[in-house]
């Protein structure tokens, strides 16, 4: 036999993807889309047909590197193309709402990076438009990729099966150190107009989503504080329109711009099930590169996870006798662990990039099967409501603040 299909064989559908953005997220999303059909059978072929970016030269270099046949410099052009089925949004938060709403209205399925929007009002509109589009068979999903870590997906199964009993404590921290140097330039993630918020939206959004995803409990109230440790930074050589503020040039070393987002956020909270939550997100944890950690304690057991050891889950089962009590390591690489069986033999770990393959795989399957993707834009709105409550609490001097519904 040959690999050539017979003339009477039905042709598999093709999902044609356009990626908007060609920096870090654009790269890893593109790599993921291209890997999916090599690892998973989602019921369709997948082709990345176009990349879009304002810098045509950089976009063309990106397209050549990934073997993409078409380049656009205006995302609106993508929405009129009949050869685009899926729009993948990998650009700063200020552009999410406009692009996603227009794409859904144009009948394109949409994957949008987190957080869903820069403001609660934008997120509410996006979720409403997505719900309406879903009634027409147009699917959408927000990119909380950490859900697709096999160890965390397995932790969710343990909690859903009642292995932890009543959830009492949730501790979630996300620690990075990439802007500890006060001379690190004023990139877009440090400008509120572009990013919406700082460590809170960039890192804290993941913690909020994982808390609600793992426990299946919404966060209902918070008391929070935020801090900006370095208030001005050198403008990058290519400032992308970021404006200098001479009055903020604390060192006299040249043009500097004002940091308008938080460097760190800390909150305590409650879930609807009565669990106590502590949350910390910072980009000033010197020595920590990508330490997303979450521990959940229940009446019958506990789980603990650290993304810097992403193939491992710690599980304590209170049903064991005292002589066997305590945390034990689960290496989440067995065929029965979520996603892991599609890859390598047991014990051969996965990495950060695999989470995005799992994300693209799940979204493609939902499109082909007509299912509602998860996390939906509605789920993204739920995270945005908690982010909004944390900001409001911090602005009020840490007053207890309910999460709006």
Residue 122: CATH number of its domain: 3.40.50.720
Work out how many domains the chain is built from and give that number: 2
Element at 268 (helix H, strand E): strand 264-271
The pLDDT confidence band at residue 7, using thresholds 50, 70 and 90, is: low
Residue 254 confidence class, pLDDT cut points 50, 70, 90? low
Alpha-carbon distance of 376 to 12, in angstroms, equals 26
Mean pLDDT value of segment 297-312? 98
Q: Is 351 exposed, middle or buried (0-12, 13-18, 19+ CB in 10 A)?
A: exposed
Is residue 127 scored above 60 in pLDDT?
yes
What is the reported pLDDT for 9? 55
Which of 77, 110, 145 terminates a domain? The answer is 145
What integer is the mean pLDDT of 54-83? Answer: 97
Q: What residue numbers bound the domain in which 119 lies?
A: 14-145
Q: Which of 96, 118, 145 is the C-terminal boundary of a domain?
A: 145
Residues 378 and 281 in one domain: yes
- Tell me: do 107 and 163 sit in the same domain: no
Q: Are residues 36 and 134 in the same domain?
A: yes
Token code pair at residue 45? 């072929």
Contact between 20 and 52 under an 8 Å Cβ cutoff? The reply is: yes
Per-residue pLDDT of 370-383, as tens digits, reads: 999 999 999 999 99
Residue 254 within any structural domain of the chain: yes
In a domain, 287, yes or no: yes
Q: Same domain, yes or no, for 272 and 376?
A: yes
Q: What is the CATH number of the domain that holds 233?
A: 3.30.360.10
| Residue 288 pLDDT greater than 60, yes or no | yes
Question: Given this model, what pLDDT does residue 11 score?
Answer: 76
| Partners of residue 156 on adjacent β-strands | none
- Pair 33, 77 in one domain: yes
Contact 333, 346 (CB under 8 A): yes
Average pLDDT over the chain, rounded to whole? 94
pLDDT score of 252 more than 50? no
Regarding whether 294 and 158 lie in a shared domain, the answer is yes
Dihedrals φ, ψ of 15, to 5°?
-95, 120
Percentage of the chain with pLDDT > 70? 93
Q: What is the pLDDT of residues 343-371, one digit of tens each?
A: 999 999 999 999 999 999 999 999 999 99
Answer yes or no: do 312 and 337 share one domain. yes
CB 382 within 8 Å of CB 212 = yes
pLDDT value, residue 246: 33
Domain boundary among 108, 130, 145: 145
- Confidence category of residue 42, pLDDT binned at 50, 70, 90: very high
């Amino acid at each position: 036999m040959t690999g050539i299909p017979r003339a009477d064989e039905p042709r598999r559908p093709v999902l044609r993807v356009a990626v908007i953005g060609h920096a870090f997220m654009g790269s890893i999303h593109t790599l993921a889309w291209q890997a999916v059909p090599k690892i998973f059978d989602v019921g369709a072929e997948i082709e990345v047909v176009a990349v879009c970016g304002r810098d045509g030269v950089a976009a063309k270099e990106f397209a050549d590197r990934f073997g993409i046949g078409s380049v656009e410099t205006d995302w609106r052009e993508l929405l009129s193309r009949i050869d685009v089925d899926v729009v993948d949004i990998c650009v700063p938060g200020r552009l999410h709402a406009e692009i996603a709403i227009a794409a859904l209205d144009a009948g394109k399925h949409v994957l949008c990076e987190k957080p869903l929007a820069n403001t609660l009002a934008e997120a509410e509109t996006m979720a409403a438009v997505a719900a309406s589009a879903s009634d027409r068979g147009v699917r959408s999903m927000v990119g909380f990729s950490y859900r697709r870590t096999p160890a965390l997906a397995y932790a969710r199964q343990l909690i859903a099966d009642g292995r932890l009993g009543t959830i009492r404590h949730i501790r979630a921290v996300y620690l990075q150190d990439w802007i500890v140097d006060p001379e690190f330039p004023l990139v877009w993630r440090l400008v509120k107009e572009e990013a919406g918020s700082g460590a809170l939206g960039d890192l804290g959004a993941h913690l909020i989503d994982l808390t609600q995803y793992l426990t299946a409990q919404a966060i209902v109230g918070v008391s929070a504080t935020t801090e900006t440790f370095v208030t001005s930074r050198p403008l990058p050589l290519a400032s992308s329109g970021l404006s200098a503020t001479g009055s903020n040039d604390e060192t006299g070393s040249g043009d500097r711009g004002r940091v308008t987002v938080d460097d760190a956020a800390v909150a305590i909270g409650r879930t609807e099930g009565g669990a106590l939550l502590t949350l910390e997100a910072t980009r000033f944890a010197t020595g920590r590169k990508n330490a997303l950690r979450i521990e959940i304690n229940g009446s019958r057991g506990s789980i603990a996870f650290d993304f810097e050891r992403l193939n491992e889950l710690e599980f304590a089962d209170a049903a064991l006798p005292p002589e066997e009590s305590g945390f034990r390591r689960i290496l989440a690489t067995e065929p029965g662990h979520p996603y892991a069986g599609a890859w390598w033999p047991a014990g051969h770990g996965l990495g950060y990039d695999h989470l995005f393959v799992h994300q693209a795989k799940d979204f493609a399957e939902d499109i082909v099967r007509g299912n509602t993707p998860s996390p939906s834009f509605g789920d993204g709105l739920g995270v945005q409501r908690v982010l909004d409550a944390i900001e409001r609490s911090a602005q009020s001097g840490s007053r207890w603040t309910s999460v709006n519904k």
